[in-house]
A and B are shown apart, each in its own frame.
Chain A
């Protein structure tokens, strides 16, 4: 059974052309880019090409790009560097809906005495900008706000926040892991100081990421050792993956329009149809201002893991808004921050599409999901049959 894969915010299929681009670096071109001999040295030029490709997607300069191992590393390096280079500042501002890469890091830092302010969101997942503005202080070392939320796709006004921060001399970082490739960005025209991205959300493989650090920003490395990446990130370069990330950035630019037309059309069809034919099903997030590929739908009075497992039986791969599988029964912190009621939060499914999805796949989900919801509701003690369809 070929899976119907609608879990692209978790990870994406590696594009065949990207695999192709990587292969030589696993076979004949295995040299170390730091070596003196031509055999190794020539590999370095491929890294520099990839750096240009990444920079060009972001509207950045090549020297502003540091290759890392993943989005989480980029996030950690950014925040730790901001604290390290400003030892007198003790305050971090972030949001209540960040990815664990930022959320858990900030929780850990708070145990080490840093003051953390988390900006709340409204019921559509929109940031409370007044709250954020009021909390910018002389002691604030960095503000970190994700560009787009991984669960609902809601887009945050990061350029505006970066502007605010820059007026006050505060560093601004954004976790743009979900946004890159879907939102057209030109960092040279913004005041964003640091930005994290991840390869495997862009049809490159897992294990590669990048951190953008604006030219002139003080930076201390997270990985210490050799002089790779101009001393900003030690460790022998993951050459094949770096090449893949470069290629993926070109690929993302080529497919950005398709993401925002074709993929968006599929997403809208899926969401509108499901929420119309299934009673008590609601889409979450800022519906007018979100990623084109993401749809978070709450099916009230049933539990998400059960829905996922039934979909799994049919080869449909999505994800749930609850952390049930991790042993915690608390629904996702994002939905809770938005005040989604428990009756709905537990039964939330996230669909995240990509350019590889077809209309037949969407029709398949539209056909198969309603009976699953109906069936689970017939088992639920909270479901009233008169609500049925």
Chain B
């Protein structure tokens, strides 16, 4: 059900300043119909270079419409320098807050405003840097890093709520997660190389990775894993439980455990399963 404030509902049901200004001074368009929301913002300045009128058209959900309506109200009467300082948080605050899945609606408002101002000033649009991580919504690694850092985002859901990245097919989830992990754990851990460690350090790191990163997922499916031995870069483990999937445990191992350990410990690590004689599925 909708977790919207009264103010969001009010702006949605009675949006202010709908439309486009024909001879606008600034025009900003963001989003697309494929993305699920889009906003076109236009404004007109008065003789003192203050925003005299602002209008919007929005394709999107209730909070997208409310955010756009709020934005037009907020910027009227401001100079461009003042308007430029408005952030998406200001828009959300104006509305008494937005559900976390809907923060991107206010981000869309901020972006449209930025674009509209630069269209007036004739300054080139900010070029997005980085490599596209989420192809569904065209979000790059640098944008994700920036959002994670500046807004202290801790989970994939928060990133999706903020940037929409990850809200489509989901193929980019792993990559987004690893960007988040980089900031939560700090880059130190992944920089350590197995070769440079004592055997004890090696085992500790493997154990820790199994405990924190692998076991929880296995436990959820009714399985478990135990570290048996480490020999060079070969890691011996024993799988337990999860009878429904144990005949496929080899594939589970290859896909998950090995990939995770390679990522966290060393890239050429190999996982071998120790099978006890009497195991019956």
Contacts and interface: CB of A to CB of B under 8 A. Distances in A.
Do the two chains bind? yes
Contact of B221 (A112, A313, A330, A382): A112
Interface in A96-130: 108-109, 111-114
Nearest to A377: B59
Contacts of B256: 111
A1 interface: no
A379 interface: yes
B264 interface: no
B245 A113 contact: yes
Contacts of A330: 36, 136, 167-169
A331 B245 CA distance: 32
B221 A309 contact: no
A114 B36 CA distance: 33
Given A112-B221, A306-B60, A327 B281 contact: no
Interface stretch (B76-84, B117-125, B139-147, B247-255): B247-255
Interface in A271-304: 301-304
B173 to A, nearest CB: 11
Contacts of B136: 330
A90 interface: yes
Interface in B178-226: 221
Interface string B32-66: 01111111100000000000000001111110110
A310 B13 contact: yes
A80 B222 CA distance: 13
A122 B243 CA distance: 38
A306 to B, nearest CB: 5
A345 B225 CA distance: 44
Interface in B10-24: 12-13, 15, 18
Contacts of B137: 329
B15 A306 contact: no
A378 interface: yes
A331 B36 contact: yes
Contacts of A378: 18
Contacts of B160: 327-328
B118 to A, nearest CB: 19
Contacts of A313: 13
B248 A90 contact: yes
A382 B13 contact: no
B164 interface: yes
B90 interface: no
Given A112-B248, A114-B248, A330-B136, A379 B167 contact: no
B73 interface: no
Contacts of B157: 327
**A interface, size bucket:** 35 or more
B156 to A, nearest CB: 10
Contact of B36 (A111, A310, A322, A380): A322
B25 interface: no
Contacts, number: 102
A114 to B, nearest CB: 7
Given A310-B13, A330-B36, A111 B65 contact: no
A167 interface: no
Nearest to B15: A379
B167 A329 contact: yes
Contacts of A16: none
Contacts of B161: 327
Contacts of B273: none
Contacts of A331: 36
Interface in A27-78: none
B18 A301 contact: no
Contacts of A304: 61
A302 B255 contact: no
B244 interface: yes
A3 interface: no
Given A324-B36, A327-B167, A382-B38, A112 B58 contact: no
Contact of B255 (A111, A310, A324): A111
Contacts of B248: 90, 112-114
A304 B60 CA distance: 8
A329 B33 contact: no
A382 B33 contact: yes
A346 interface: yes
Given A342-B34, A381-B59, A328 B168 contact: yes
B101 interface: yes
Contacts of A83: 244
A325 B102 CA distance: 9
B36 A309 contact: no
B40 to A, nearest CB: 4
Given A112-B248, A381-B39, 13 more contacts: A90-B248, A112-B252, A113-B252, A303-B37, A303-B60, A306-B62, A324-B36, A324-B61, A327-B167, A329-B36, A329-B137, A342-B34, A381-B38
Closest 6 CB pairs of A and B: A113-B251, A329-B36, A327-B101, A113-B248, A381-B57, A305-B61
10 contacts: A113-B250, A305-B62, A324-B36, A327-B161, A329-B35, A329-B36, A329-B37, A329-B168, A379-B15, A381-B57
